[in-house]
């Protein structure tokens, strides 16, 4: 049901325009120079145009895309720019061909669904939870979920390893994680 709602929302240009604007607002709010995002699958918001605008505004900025090296291990993030040569990786997802690893300060995470407490529903592979749990260095990235308002639900079932996101961005608003 959430996948259908997301697919429907993603097909509406006005929602995507508003979501892109809110994504750029989130980047401005956090003031980071290094961002990880994702190559869009069916129904997922395509952030490439917004990220390209963000990159063009400052040559010190860097973007990266997740790469699955093998099933069950944390994701790596490889440098991406609009002109980066790409190839097909695991799960038939397009990834940068260069292999240059980047450690992003902010991570955009796709959401199938999300709740008021900042938890997300993904595809169930656990890649982002595993990646965040094993993040290199002492400082974890700011995590920002990207979702459509139609995919908001009152509460999601959670497992012990689930990590709430710092912010969820939709076409309607920016939702910070509630303070505990």
Q: Is 124 annotated as a binding residue?
A: yes
Q: Is 120 annotated as a binding residue?
A: yes
Q: What is the pLDDT of residues 1-54, one digit of tens each?
A: 888 888 888 888 999 999 999 999 999 999 999 999 999 988 899 999 999 999
Structure pTM? Answer: 0.93
- Whether 37 maps to a domain, the answer reads yes
Are 150 and 5 in contact, with CB atoms under 8 Å apart? yes
Query: Which domain covers residue 140, as residue numbers?
Result: 2-175
Q: What is the pLDDT of residues 48-91, one digit of tens each?
A: 999 999 999 999 999 999 998 887 888 999 999 999 999 998 87
Q: Is 128 annotated as a binding residue?
A: yes
Distance CA 33, CA 20 (A): 18
- Whether 135 maps to a domain, the answer reads yes
What are the tokens at 19? 């979501």
Question: With 0-12 CB in 10 A as exposed, 13-18 as middle and 19+ as buried, what is 45?
Answer: buried
Q: Is 121 annotated as a binding residue?
A: yes
**Sheet with strand 106-110: strands edge to edge:** 76-80, 62-67, 34-36, 106-110, 142-146, 167-169, 174-176
Q: Is 125 annotated as a binding residue?
A: yes
CA-based max dimension of the chain? 43
**CATH code assigned at 54:** 3.40.50.10420
Structural domains in the chain (count): 1
- Whether 92 maps to a domain, the answer reads yes
pLDDT value, residue 105? 96
- Whether 144 maps to a domain, the answer reads yes
- Whether 180 maps to a domain, the answer reads no
């Amino acid at each position: 049901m959430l996948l259908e709602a997301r697919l429907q929302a993603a097909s509406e240009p006005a929602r995507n325009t508003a979501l892109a604007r809110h994504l750029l607002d989130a980047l401005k709010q956090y003031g980071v120079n290094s961002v990880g995002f994702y190559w869009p699958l069916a129904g997922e918001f395509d952030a490439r145009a917004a990220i390209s605008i963000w990159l063009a505004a400052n040559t010190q900025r860097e973007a990266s895309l997740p790469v699955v090296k093998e099933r069950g291990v944390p994701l790596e993030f490889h440098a991406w720019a609009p002109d980066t040569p790409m190839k097909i990786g695991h799960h038939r997802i397009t990834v940068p061909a260069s292999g240059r690893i980047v450690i992003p300060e902010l991570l955009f995470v796709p959401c199938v669904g999300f709740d008021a407490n900042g938890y997300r529903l993904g595809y169930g592979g656990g890649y982002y939870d595993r990646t965040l749990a094993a993040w290199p260095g002492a400082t974890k990235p700011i995590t920002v979920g990207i979702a459509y308002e139609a995919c908001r639900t009152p509460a999601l079932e959670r497992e012990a390893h689930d990590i709430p996101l710092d912010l969820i961005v939709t076409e309607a608003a920016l939702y910070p994680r509630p303070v505990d």
